[in-house]
């Protein structure tokens, strides 16, 4: 079984649009776990347009499965990681102001920063994961900086899936094979959905985890979150 981590940023976006505490982020996280999610993912951006720093500290004692905190490894993010000690920290190359993660790390250009950050995470006992494009060079560079895991950026796959599924997934198949040989844990995320997830999972071997937020919350508008989680878990089984 490939683990499903539910990204709850969109629930925070809905709450923040109106103010107050509805929907309840903490209860939603608890319910996701109760309905079968293997983890909870959050991405606390500096502008706090969805998950806030306060949310992170409230969620930390609540989450009983894997807590995965995504973010750009600046001083603020690293302080959160030190305080909360999540099971996994996923490093993304988003500077402030970016709408959503839309590219993997240029690892060669940021090698020194990534090495130092990953060493710090490992000293804290936090699994390090870096957001990468699905190319063979990135797999080798992720290994060079001593990352524990990679998260394959699946946006290009999702964009091209309906045109030519085999072509869309080809780079991911090759990248995952190399990553596995190098001993990297393989995660994936961005625009994976009920329409493309089963195909991706069947083609890309050695997956450990997928992180899904926007699609699963959108599906929950029609199905309810319990049924939506069940549908995604079925895809991954």
Output the six-digit token pair for 172: 């991911």
Q: 33, 66, 190, 209: which is the annotated catalytic residue?
A: 190
Could you tell me which CATH class the domain 3-236 is placed in? alpha beta
Active-site residue, from 43, 50, 151, 209? 43
| DSSP label of 94 | P
| Nearest-angstrom CA–CA distance, 154 and 147 | 19
The model's pTM is 0.95
Which pLDDT tens digit goes with each residue over 111-148?
A: 999 999 999 999 999 999 999 999 999 999 999 999 99
Catalytic, out of 33, 70, 151, 209: 70
43 is a catalytic site residue = yes
Active site residue 50: no
70 included as an active-site residue: yes
Spatial distance between the Cα atoms of 43 and 71, rounded to a whole number of angstroms: 6
- The values of phi and psi at residue 205, to 5°, are -80, 165
Identify each DSSP E strand in 26-180 by its residue range: 39-42, 66-71, 88-91, 127-132, 149-153
pLDDT in tens, 27-68: 999 999 999 999 999 999 988 999 999 999 999 999 999 999
């Amino acid at each position: 079984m490939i683990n499903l981590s539910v990204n709850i940023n969109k629930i925070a976006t809905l709450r923040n649009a109106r103010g107050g505490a509805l929907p309840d982020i903490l209860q939603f996280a608890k319910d996701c776990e109760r309905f079968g999610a293997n983890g909870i993912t959050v991405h606390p951006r500096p502008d706090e347009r969805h998950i806030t720093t306060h949310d992170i500290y409230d969620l930390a004692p609540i989450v009983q499965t894997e807590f995965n905190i995504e973010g750009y490894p600046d001083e603020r993010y690293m302080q959160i990681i030190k305080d909360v000690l999540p099971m996994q920290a996923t490093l993304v190359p988003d500077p402030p102001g970016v709408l959503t993660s839309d590219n993997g790390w240029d690892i060669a250009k940021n090698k020194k920063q990534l090495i130092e950050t990953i060493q710090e995470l490992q000293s804290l006992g936090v699994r390090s994961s870096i957001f990468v494009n699905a190319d063979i060079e990135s797999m080798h560079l992720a290994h060079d900086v001593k990352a524990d895991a990679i998260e394959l950026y699946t946006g290009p796959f999702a964009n091209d899936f309906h045109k030519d599924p085999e072509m869309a997934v080809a780079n991911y198949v090759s990248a995952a094979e190399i990553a596995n040989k190098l001993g990297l844990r393989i995660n994936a995320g961005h625009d994976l959905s009920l329409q493309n997830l089963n195909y991706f999972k069947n083609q890309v071997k050695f997956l450990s985890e997928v992180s899904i937020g926007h699609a699963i919350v959108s599906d929950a508008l029609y199905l309810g979150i319990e049924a939506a989680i069940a549908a995604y878990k079925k895809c991954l089984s």
